[in-house]
A and B are shown apart, each in its own frame.
Chain A
Amino acid sequence: MGIEGPSGSVTKGRRRVSEVDPVGAGDGPGTVETPGSVVEVRTSASASLIPTIRAVASDLAARADFDLDAISDLRMAVDEACATLVDVAAPGSALRCTFDVREELIRVHAEVDTGDAATPVSTDTFGWRVLQTLADQVELEANGSGIVGIRLHKRADAAPR
């Protein structure tokens, strides 16, 4: 899927369910039957590259006919998730962000290697509360191996606030 490309590369390909299900966990059977487009962005885990990632998020949502509020929410949610992860990433490591574009839904998974299994990511922050408000679903993943991820879902029609 091209994720081993150089820093900052963007690859796009048709989803192959048998091969990869990067953001499908947690959903019931049946959802994988609708193949969507998967876009993976891999950058150095640097805050200076987050504008590029949120621009990709915004572009994908616009092309998927998300309404304007939902585009704005997704862009901000992806920015927040990436900023949270970059903050705990090991020096010189990578930030990997995967967008699974479905009908009426974009699933995002972002992850970094913290280099330390004990690195905490606090969810008791203003930023995390904002993230929970922006996304339809958000989840922090830390499996104790040092890889920390954030998984979020955003529907095409933003709920009125």
Chain B
Amino acid sequence: MSALSFPASRGPSRPGGLDTGLTRPVPGVLLLVVEGEVDTLTAPALGEALGALLEADPADAVAAVDLAGVGFLASSGLAVLIRAAHRAEAQGRALYLLGGSRAVTRPLEVTGSDQLFTLLPGLDELLARVDGDRPTGRVRRPD
């Protein structure tokens, strides 16, 4: 694990709450780890965290969201994920969703929005998939 790992919200997880943290598991891969419940109260925090993920350097990093710790996903949460997928697409890259349980995959499937993402079981599968295709990290965002 590299140095960058910070909580976006304080305090212990609680029912109805949400914690997010941006990590760099390997060079060229940005992973947003999300834990808790994504509903009308917490969706804005997820939206901010997704924004930070898609703005982080390197700009051509593989962008992934670990949803294994998400126990609920409301339409408000779907909406911010869909916006992030469109934004990633506009940047010319995919948005990977990792480890979603039924609480995550069911809303995605029911609404057909699973087509917007690449869903994978976990980080190992992501690394296997993008191995050799990862950016060098030399591309910097213009200031």
Task: Spell out A's residues near B (CB within 8 Å).
Answer: 47-48, 50-51, 54-55, 68-69, 72-73, 75-76, 79-80, 83, 126-127, 130-131, 133-134, 161
Contact = CB atoms under 8 A, between A and B. Distances in A.
B75 A130 contact: yes
Contacts of B110: 73, 130, 133-134, 161
Nearest to A68: B102
A76 B74 contact: yes
A50 B76 CA distance: 13
Interface residues on B, range: 20 to 34
A155 B37 CA distance: 24
Contacts of A54: 72
Contacts of A131: 75
A54 B40 CA distance: 13
Given A69-B102, A73-B106, A79 B72 contact: yes
B129 to A, nearest CB: 26
A31 B78 CA distance: 36
Contact of A79 (B74, B79, B111): B74
A83 B74 contact: yes
Contact of A83 (B15, B40, B106): B40
B69 interface: no
Nearest to A79: B74
10 contacts: A50-B16, A50-B39, A51-B16, A68-B102, A69-B102, A73-B106, A76-B72, A79-B74, A83-B74, A130-B110
Contacts, number: 59
B102 A48 contact: no
Contacts of B79: 126-127
Contacts of A127: 75-76, 79
B109 interface: yes
Contact of A51 (B15, B103, B111): B15
Given A50-B39, A50-B40, A130 B78 contact: yes
Which of A47, A75, A76 has most B Cβ within 10 Å? A76
Nearest to B39: A79
